[in-house]
Amino acid sequence: MTTIRSWEDQEFTVLEPDARPLDPGKKGKDWRFTVLEHGGAEPDTMPQAIEAFDAKKRRAVYVPQADQPRPQDPGMEGDGWTFKTAKHDADGMPQEIIATDADGVSGAYVPLELEGRIVVP
């Protein structure tokens, strides 16, 4: 297990290929999603992270891509949101999650990376 320290000395674990969540059918079947860390620098309720778990409970954290629509989550619980996995790598890990809020606004989230490696807090 490799750890990286960043952002106010917070620790992140490098997500090695055998520990990454996989989506072999490329449809997000049996995946679970949790919205996290709302708002950020903008005065709104857009989740700044989505935690995703595959059917085997392997997890990854996804963060919003820059310069995109900002789906909103006023209840901060993801109520009415839908999620779709997209752009899978060769192993089957989604490289993008399309999150759509209750009003139909969609945004793309990508795996959290530090130093060019996929990590989880």
Whether residue 117 is contained in a domain is answered as no
Residue 94 lies in a domain: yes
- Coarse DSSP helix, strand, coil percentages of the chain, rounded to the nearest 5 percent: 0, 45, 50
C-alpha dist (Å) from residue 70 to 33, 45, 67, 91, 115 = 18, 9, 9, 29, 26
Model pLDDT, residue 10:
82
Domain of residue 93: give its range. 21-111
The one-digit pLDDT tens for each residue of the chain (121 residues) are: 565 666 667 888 999 999 999 999 999 989 999 999 888 778 899 999 999 999 999 999 999 998 899 999 999 999 999 999 999 999 999 999 999 999 999 999 999 998 899 999 8
Residue 6 domain-assigned (yes or no): no
Task: Report pLDDT for 1.
Answer: 56
pLDDT of residue 7: 60
| pTM to 2 decimal places | 0.91
Query: Does residue 7 lie in a domain region?
Result: no
Assigned domain for 15 exists: no
How confident is the model at residue 90, as a pLDDT?
94
In the prediction, which pLDDT does 84 show? 97
Q: How many domains does the chain have?
A: 1
Q: Can you tell me whether residue 103 is helix, strand or coil?
A: coil
Q: Residue 16 domain-assigned?
A: no
* Cα gap 83→105, rounded to integer Å: 12
Q: How far apart are CA 9 and CA 1, in angstroms?
A: 18
